[in-house]
């Protein structure tokens, strides 16, 4: 294969992902050139501290802490892995205005300012590629843009945050408290010093916003995604869920709720929340730092994508793949041809999350001296309740009774649970968690 002229790269960010990008394109330059005909040369790297020592294969003179110096350098492609929405937004928009293609791993930028970024790329006659933005090294953007275009996607759901998945795995398999599991994730480099964005569900919502916009063909607003994190989960519920045949995961889900005539708007349900998943479901077996995405298309049915969702080299792998797409012209052709980006799609029509029906796990906790009568008490209190129970589980060691309900709207469930609890002598407030594909006893 005939090698093209080297592509000059301006790299914004040289942390975990940026250093991985450098390692791949420098240490594997020959292999990449032999396979793709492309060779990359990094001429300028934007960092916050030029004095900091870094284990990256770049000479010291390429580093700068000045965004304008980066933009003034000679480059053919901007790679943005700096994160956030301040400096990143500035360098991305200015590069696009100058007609330079951009590769980004920044899900927050695309979730909050996606339409602006895409419109800027069109105005500049260039393109944006963002495979690494939503699932690290797991390829999902490509299938949504190309492989599944024959389908009308009915739903997309997944485990998008490796930090949360690691924490939940550590709690259940290691018997750790939530706080200890978060500290372990921080010690191993899976969680930031401030893990709030991850554990609150914000990071998952950013990724869901980007993916669901592409999959469901609507311009989705990040703030309209209902979200709840894992920071209030208790080990007791993870353990009891396992006893009942379920695994608890932080799941992001976007789905069409009702059939609609062709070309007509359709309400979308979008949520991020801790969810019980039956053990034989594809997402239930993903543990540790693994991520997974399940897409349901009306032609192909369900397709499943799983892999390492975080880390330096897995995410850098997706970044470099996009760099090659840009260098070969594939990214530009896709961006020009497809009308699936937020600047081209209509605003989403959202359903109120309180109107969406799901099954639920409901836990009632009793004082130890009440455990002998607790099942009879729950049965009696539930007797005239309009919410149907599919399954009831008793854990006398934990002094709890758990009910799995039939699909019900959250506002109706809340009223029903309050009514039941009002007839019981409970030691704690009832706990309610949604259940994906509940099974009856």
Q: Which residues are catalytic?
A: 207
Residue with tokens 């049915």: 301
344-380 burial: b if 16+ Cβ within 10 Å, else e: ebeebebbebeebebbbbbbbbbeeeebeebbebbee
Closest by CA to 109, choosing from 124, 126, 95, is 95
Angle separating helix axes 312-328 and 330-337, nearest 10 degrees:
80
- Count Cα atoms within 13 angstroms, Cβ side, for 127: 18
Measuring CA to CA, how many Å separate 349 from each of 6, 106, 251, 284, 346? 45, 25, 21, 30, 9
Closest by CA to 385, choosing from 355, 353, 420, is 420
37-46 burial: b if 16+ Cβ within 10 Å, else e: ebbbebbbbb
In the structure encoding, which two tokens stand for residue 389, read together? 């129970």
Q: What is the C-alpha separation between 29 and 44, in angstroms, rounded?
A: 18
Q: What is the C-alpha separation between 423 and 246, in angstroms, rounded?
A: 28
β-bridge partners, 40: 7
Let me know: does 333 contact 138? Beta carbons within 8 Å.
Answer: no
As a whole number of Å, the end-to-end CA separation of the chain is 61
In the structure encoding, which two tokens stand for residue 309, read together? 């969702």
Q: What is the C-alpha separation between 397 and 148, in angstroms, rounded?
A: 49
């Amino acid at each position: 294969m005939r090698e093209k002229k080297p592509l000059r790269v301006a790299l914004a960010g040289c942390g975990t992902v940026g250093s991985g990008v450098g390692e791949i394109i420098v240490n594997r330059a020959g292999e990449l050139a032999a396979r793709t005909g492309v060779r990359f040369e990094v001429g300028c790297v934007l960092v916050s501290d030029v004095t900091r020592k870094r284990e990256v294969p770049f000479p010291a003179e390429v580093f700068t802490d000045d965004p304008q110096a980066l933009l003034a350098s000679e480059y053919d492609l901007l790679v943005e892995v700096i994160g956030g929405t301040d400096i990143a937004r500035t360098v991305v928009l200015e590069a696009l205005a100058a007609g330079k293609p951009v590769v980004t791993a920044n899900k927050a930028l695309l979730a909050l300012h996606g339409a602006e970024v895409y419109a800027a790329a069109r105005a500049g006659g260039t393109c944006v590629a963002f495979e690494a933005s939503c699932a690290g090294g797991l390829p999902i953007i490509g299938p949504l843009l190309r492989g599944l275009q024959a389908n009308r996607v009915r739903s997309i759901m997944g485990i998008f945050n490796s930090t949360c998945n690691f924490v939940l795995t550590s709690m259940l398999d290691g018997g750790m408290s939530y706080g200890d599991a978060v500290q372990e994730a921080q010690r191993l480099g899976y969680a930031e010093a401030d893990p709030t964005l991850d554990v609150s569900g914000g990071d998952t919502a950013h990724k869901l916003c980007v993916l669901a916009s592409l999959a469901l063909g609507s311009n989705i607003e990040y703030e309209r995604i209902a979200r709840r994190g894992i920071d209030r989960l208790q080990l007791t519920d993870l353990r009891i869920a396992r006893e009942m045949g379920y695994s608890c995961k932080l799941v992001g889900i976007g789905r069409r709720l009702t059939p609609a005539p062709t070309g007509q708007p359709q309400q979308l349900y979008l949520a991020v929340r801790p969810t019980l998943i039956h053990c034989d479901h594809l997402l239930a077996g993903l543990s540790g730092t693994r991520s997974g995405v399940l897409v349901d298309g009306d032609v192909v049915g369900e397709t499943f994508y799983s892999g390492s969702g975080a880390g330096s080299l897995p995410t850098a792998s997706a970044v470099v793949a996009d760099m090659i797409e840009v260098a070969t012209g594939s990214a530009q052709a896709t961006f020009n041809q497809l009308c699936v980006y937020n600047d081209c799609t209509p605003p989403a029509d959202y359903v109120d999350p309180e109107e969406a029906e799901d099954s639920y796990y409901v836990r009632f906790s009793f004082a130890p001296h009440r455990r002998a009568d607790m099942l009879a008490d729950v049965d009696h209190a539930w007797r005239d309740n309009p919410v149907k129970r599919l399954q009831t589980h008793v854990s006398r060691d934990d002094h709890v009774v758990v009910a799995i309900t039939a699909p019900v709207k959250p506002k109706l469930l809340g009223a029903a649970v309050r009514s039941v609890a009002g007839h019981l002598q409970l030691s704690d407030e009832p706990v309610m968690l949604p259940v994906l594909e509940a099974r009856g006893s």
